[in-house]
A and B are shown apart, each in its own frame.
Chain A
Amino acid sequence: MSAASPGDVRIFLTGFIQRRLAAQGQDPLNELSDDCDLLLSGVIDSLGLLELVTAVNEHYGREIDFEDLDPDQMTIVGPFCDFVADRMGRA
């Protein structure tokens, strides 16, 4: 098990998003602000969200349960990173 800060998760998330955009031939994002909603801004769709969750689980080597995360917060960068970091800190 590895611990992670919200900043670490953010670096991983940024990398994931940029790789995905590049694979789809889209321009990279200049900046990923904390209040950016990945879904409503069209950066990812529900399939992308699934890929993201799978990638997070693989990267950190554990199954994170996203059920407790408020749906309104789930696709917003800041709350998503805080949530993953919080779960990584638990036994």
Chain B
Amino acid sequence: MTNDRALWAGFMKSAEMFTGRPAVVAEGKTLTYEELRERACRIAATIQAYQDASATPLTAVFAYRSPTAFAGVLGSLLAGNGYVPLNRTFPVDRTQVMFARSECDAIVVDAGSLPQLDKLLEESQKSLRILLPDVQSVETLRKQWPRHTFAGSNDLAASSDWREPEARPNAIAYLLFTSGSTGIPKGVMVAQRNVTAFLDYMVERYGITEKDRLSQMFDMTFDLSVFDMFVAWERGACVCCPSQKALIKPGSFVQEMELTVWFSVPSTAIFMKQLGMLKPGRYPTLRFSLFCGEPLPVSSASAWLEAAPNSILENLYGPTELTIACTLYRWDPVTSPDESELGIVPIGYPYPGMGVLVADETLREVGRGEEGELLMNGPQMSLGYWKDSEKTAAAFVVPPSKKDVYYRTGDRVRRPLGNGPLTHLGRIDFQVKILGHRVELGEIEAAVRKACGSDGVLAIGWPATPSGYGGVEVFIEGESKDLDGLRSTVASGLPDYMVPRRFHFMGKLPRNVNNKFDRKAVIHLLEEGL
């Protein structure tokens, strides 16, 4: 297939070929391809019925691990729009900021997210279309919100009304918000052709067939979820989505669902190892075990392979801006331990067509074997940041002596000697990984500065874990304030994993020779057991 096709084309083809086979398991229910297509087409036709050329080509999907979440994603795409995933486990204030910034005219909401809808409707300046496939009667909502338009399950258009939209490979597939250092989340625009280029490689490499069953450990607000859904749907396979509760016993889920492809952050493997869920031979159904999102410790890879002995293990790497993953490394029990540095599995080799540049601060290529920032370009390089040309220009650059645009990942790697793999060495800035989530410490600092009025604020990833950090601690220059009030103000705008675990007030923050706040000195305080 070529990259000119729409992202939904693979699903629709599978729906023809594998009509009665399972497409998704969510909330304990299995939906066949036929059932999921029916639901998705009704949503798509409803959006098409009102949408005109002036509308934002995006639809928000405010749904969590439910059949409506999957139907909403497909429905947005089938309407010719990109989808904007929203997550009810995030603070509603943050969801509201993302929704407002996306400028969506329509939103698909599932039953579980409905209690948070009021907040989005209250703040919206627009007249919104709200699709509620899980709700029969929407009369109360109509009375309460006369300026918005509601469609309950009985009001959705018939699936036969769906009209195939024009394929526009450059159209946005999804808009995903990542942590931004100024305190406002950045929306990454990923094009349909970015995703289809990624999918073409993945389905071939892993030989996906209709018999495969893929995990969905990632929330839809995490772009790795795109792999689970669309790799499965390209080839008629089933994506198996655990409930929030089942997420804490991933091992039982692998066994009950008889999964063949596993994909998670390394933290999940570390967690399972510590809870005794990685016994030798426990997961024989797995053909592939894939990890991405944070550094993968060698010890976790080895333990996982013992538990899933029939599987091939690969470590994937990639920022959202380069579409899900753009380098990978296949683990070999014999040679890989020697290729790993500091107990971390290499990130490997670029995907087909993806160019690599390891550069110094002036963006000139470093010598072989030397460290530098990783820059990449190619078919998976995304369109940039939504309505933010300044940030786009800063991250998507033409390095001196190059003709093409490259994306600056901010990741520090070693340029391989000869044909060896790329090795991830950390970040060049103050971005950290917390339980697999990309976090700008600057965003947390901005939130704390705003809440406490002090300009002297340092956020530190702490404690260090094999794959990043367990959480964040904050140091504030000034007199101790009302801690409860400060915490709740900060927490109202940040997801759980970004909320500081502790706040430390200091008369004066330590500074280095350049009179900058000295991060190392406060890390030392934490190491001393503060």
Contacts and interface: CB of A to CB of B under 8 A. Distances in A.
Interface of A: 23-27, 39-40, 45-47, 49-50, 53-54, 63, 65-67, 71-72, 74-75
B486 to A, nearest CB: 9
A66 B275 contact: yes
Interface stretch (B5-13, B45-53, B230-238, B241-249): B241-249
B247 A25 contact: no
A78 to B, nearest CB: 16
Interface string B388-415: 0000000000000000000000000000
B351 interface: no
24 contacts: A23-B502, A25-B484, A26-B487, A39-B245, A39-B248, A40-B245, A45-B496, A46-B248, A46-B271, A47-B435, A49-B248, A50-B271, A50-B275, A53-B275, A54-B274, A65-B276, A66-B276, A66-B277, A67-B275, A71-B245, A71-B252, A72-B245, A74-B248, A74-B249
B501 interface: yes
Contacts of B471: 47
Given A23-B501, A23-B502, A25-B483, A71 B276 contact: no
Interface string B253-277: 0000000000000000001001111
A65 B278 CA distance: 11
B307 to A, nearest CB: 11
B279 interface: yes
Contacts of B245: 39-40, 71-72, 75
Given A47-B470, A53-B274, A54-B274, A71 B246 contact: yes
Contacts of B496: 45
Considering the complex of A and B, which 9 residue pairs feature the smallest CB-CB distances, nearest first?
A: A71-B249, A65-B276, A25-B487, A67-B276, A66-B275, A46-B248, A25-B483, A71-B252, A67-B277
B251 interface: yes
Given A50-B274, A65-B276, A71-B252, A25 B502 contact: yes
Contacts of B247: 46
A66 B247 CA distance: 15
Given A53-B275, A67-B277, A25 B249 contact: no
A69 to B, nearest CB: 8
Interface in B207-230: none
B331 to A, nearest CB: 24
A8 to B, nearest CB: 22
B18 interface: no
A74 B435 CA distance: 21
Interface of B: 244-249, 251-252, 271, 274-277, 279, 435, 470-471, 483-484, 487, 496, 501-503
Contacts of A39: 244-245, 248
B189 to A, nearest CB: 31
Contacts of B271: 46, 50
Contact of B501 (A24, A49, A71): A24
Contacts of A72: 245
B396 to A, nearest CB: 34
A11 to B, nearest CB: 23
B269 to A, nearest CB: 12
Nearest to B486: A25
B119 to A, nearest CB: 18
Contacts of A53: 274-275
A25 B503 contact: yes
A24 to B, nearest CB: 6
B501 to A, nearest CB: 6
A39 to B, nearest CB: 6
Contacts of A71: 245-246, 248-249, 252
A26 B487 CA distance: 9
A30 B247 CA distance: 28
Given A39-B244, A40-B244, A71-B249, 9 more contacts: A24-B501, A25-B483, A26-B487, A46-B247, A54-B274, A66-B276, A67-B275, A67-B276, A71-B252
Given A39-B245, A46-B271, A63 B276 contact: yes
Contacts of A25: 483-484, 487, 502-503
Nearest to A53: B275
A20 B373 CA distance: 38
A88 B286 CA distance: 33
Contacts of A23: 501-502
A71 B254 CA distance: 13
Contacts of B470: 47
Contacts of B501: 23-24
Contacts of B246: 71
Contacts of B249: 71, 74
A45 to B, nearest CB: 6
A71 B502 CA distance: 30
Contacts of B276: 63, 65-67
Contacts of B277: 66-67
A49 B470 CA distance: 13
A88 to B, nearest CB: 16
Nearest to A42: B496
